[in-house]
Amino acid sequence: MKTVGFPTHDKLRAVLDASAIIKLVLEERGSAEVRKCVKDLLKGGYALHTVDLALVECLNAVWKHARIHGDLSLEEAEGAAKDLIKIYDALQILLARDIAEEAFSIATGHNVTIYDALYIAAARQLKVPLYTADQKMHEVSKGLATSMLLGF
């Protein structure tokens, strides 16, 4: 896992939240758009960041599809989990601890979960856009960080 502080260089960067990352491995509404966007960002030389919590959130989503919704076989879920780990390893990871205070302030001030607030805080700290497939997070982040809504 690569962890980072808060770089000051001008390299192109963006934050991906769990709702965008999960669409890289599962077929959901908007998955094709998210994949194209991420591919374009990488081709454009962007460094992609996320919060350490993203892997846990995404793995839980895969588990739900397999065990609760029943729309993924165990074999498909295991493949998706392996792909998620590979993707996570390729991202620059921000530790929740490093942005926890700002995230808590965002969560309490804007009635959003701490999970979502962590991604907004990451984008604010890095001064980069947040790419999300979560319409509520996109709406909440307006005025707090630049947000790009994908998959709608």
User: In this predicted model, what pLDDT tens digit does every residue of 89-112 receive, in sequence order?
Assistant: 999 999 999 999 999 999 999 999
Residue 78 lies in a domain: yes
Residue 51 lies in a domain: yes
pLDDT of residue 151: 84
Residue 25 lies in a domain: yes
Helix ranges restricted to H, the chain: 18-22, 31-43, 53-63, 74-90, 96-110, 114-126, 135-141
User: In this predicted model, what pLDDT tens digit does every residue of 3-24 receive, in sequence order?
Assistant: 344 444 457 999 999 999 999 9
Supply the CATH number for residue 137's domain. 3.40.50.1010
How many domains are there within the chain?
Answer: 1
Residue 44 lies in a domain: yes
Say what percent of the chain tops pLDDT 90. Answer: 90
Residue 85 lies in a domain: yes
Residue 1 lies in a domain: no
pLDDT of residue 118: 98
User: In this predicted model, what pLDDT tens digit does every residue of 68-85 receive, in sequence order?
Assistant: 999 999 999 999 999 999
